[in-house]
Chains A and B, each alone.
Chain A
Amino acid sequence: MGSPLEITAAPARDGLLLRTRRWMAGCPILVGAGIAWLLAMLAIALSVDLIAPYPYAQIDLRARLAPPAFLGGDLRHVLGTDELGRDVMSRLFYSIRMSLLVALLGTAIGAVIGTLLGFVAAHFRGWVDDAVMVMVDFQASMPFMIIALSVLAFFGNSLPLFIALMGLFGWERYARLVRGMTLSAGEHGYAVAVRQLGASPWRVYGRHILPNIASALIVNVTLNFPEHIILETGLSFLGLGVQPPLTSLGNMVGHGREYLQSAWWIAVFPGVAIVLTTLSMSLVGDWLRDRLDPTLR
């Protein structure tokens, strides 16, 4: 329990900046760096049309495989160019947008589907519950790469289909998690109390159970999001994900692999972006979970 002074001090109406700063107080440097990196990625993704020096497919055949500026290349291509003379920095920025878009949408779709199905299973029990759990087990027992390969082989590849497929990845974990926690909350305690007050299922699940299990879901999202990036990268690396001329981080790593000895910058910059983004997401997610729990304050 905090000191009485701290609790009774009425939160005055401060500016947004001040409130944000107070909320962020005590956040570790590493987490701060993670947030900064994620914000930078987001800024790049949102403003890529303005800040990219060249269109991502523009070819400069006279400057093929040019090294980055700090390795003796010239300033027209700061991070060098690839084998067709396309600017690596521009392609990197567009790739960040594409990968973030696919991973964010995929994570969001998976989280929503899984959470809804988890609630449905826990609410109705009986054969509905069994059916959902069979689907969960089915999904969990199949390597997702194989599902992805067969779907893409059958239906061909398009960006909406690819995103929908990514949404199927990982939903079963949310479903299992939400079902289990809803059942345990429903057996005793606040959920019983609120239902007993006459609350509708919407209120019980939306206003009470969901906020109470949100911390576990946030952790799951932060584990899931990097996996989505990696899955997208993996599929694109294999040539099954985002198709040229569109570009994504995995796509860049995939075709940069062939030039790793002569022009490492094509693959290494997107690789570094993947590592740092997934790492930041995990760090921030862990911290966020603790921060969002009022009992841990």
Chain B
Amino acid sequence: MIYLDSAATTLQKPPKVARACAYAVGNLASPGRGGHRAAMGAGQVVFQCRQQAASLFSMENPEQVVFTLNATHGLNIAIKSLVKPGDRVLISGYEHNAVTRVLYAIPNLTVKIASSPLFDQKRMLEAVERNLTEGVDAVVCTHVSNVFGYVLPIEDIAKACQRHQVPLIVDASQSAGCIPIDAGALSAAFVAMPGHKGLYGPQGTGLLLCGQEAVPLLQGGTGSNSKDQTMPDFLPDRLEAGTLNVTGIAGLLEGLRFVAQKGVSTIRNHEEALVRRMGRAFEGMPKVKAFWNGGQPGTQAGVLSFQVEGWDCEELAQKLGAMGFALRAGLHCAPLAHQTVGTLEEGTVRASVSAFNTPQEINRFVDSVRRVVARG
């Protein structure tokens, strides 16, 4: 199988990830819950993971790195900490349901949408600026569209938010580990990300980088301040009730080390090159409509959506699946992004790459699409 669904989860991981998980299952207990070797060993691994993440994302203090179950969990904490009923919230036209459903559940919210055509960063920034000038209470913005790979100008959006003194929540689900993120420079209120995509950790891991005070989503034991019946007022304990996923975190640590060793910029260049190869090949193919940036650097990450005339997207993905390619079709849990681009009714087939994909794999994939199109 050639795996091209890394925007959902990277399946190919560095071998050390599985080894670290296996070691954790047999040797590590609950961090912060005891003074014995297995508990302290778990605490050490958890702390190393915080430090590694803080370093990768230029966070000064590892206590601001909070472990979550996934990006959705982190986004729930972030949004529910910042957004109150009656607020005006600005989002991009490329948000995932992990953002829009959370907002939809908050009563009396005014949700404004800043939109731009695909890969047009200038117009996206203009739309954000325009809405900020009109007045909003918070901005929630994805860094990279999970459907189209569109890289939003998050650094400029963050600067605009700072100028208008509006807190920013960044959904880094598709960018963490794939595009350099300097969370310190962004000065975002929160940056949420999964551990199981570009950071190569196992499923069930995520990180929330906290730039400001947060409201706990869960209450419970933290191994600290136990006499007090309110949650601790300090991070990370405030947001980490209950036993941590030490097994997952041990694997995530190895994933983070892999990314740091390889270099995020190297990974980005590699993934961009693969998408460029795919986009160029699709461009010359009749009946294929590929949503790619035409090779314009810096505007598309390792994700490319496409449609084939006469084919239902799910049936096409199934056909290509039978030929050995793992893809995802449909709306990708992001109907707003599809609505923005005009693909809400028909959906798309999405190919997404990782550091482990090769140009040869892309060639085989493109050849297979060509054969399917030729057969009709």
Tell me, yes or no, whether A binds B. Answer: no
Q: Which residues of A are interface residues toward B (Cβ below 8 A)?
A: none
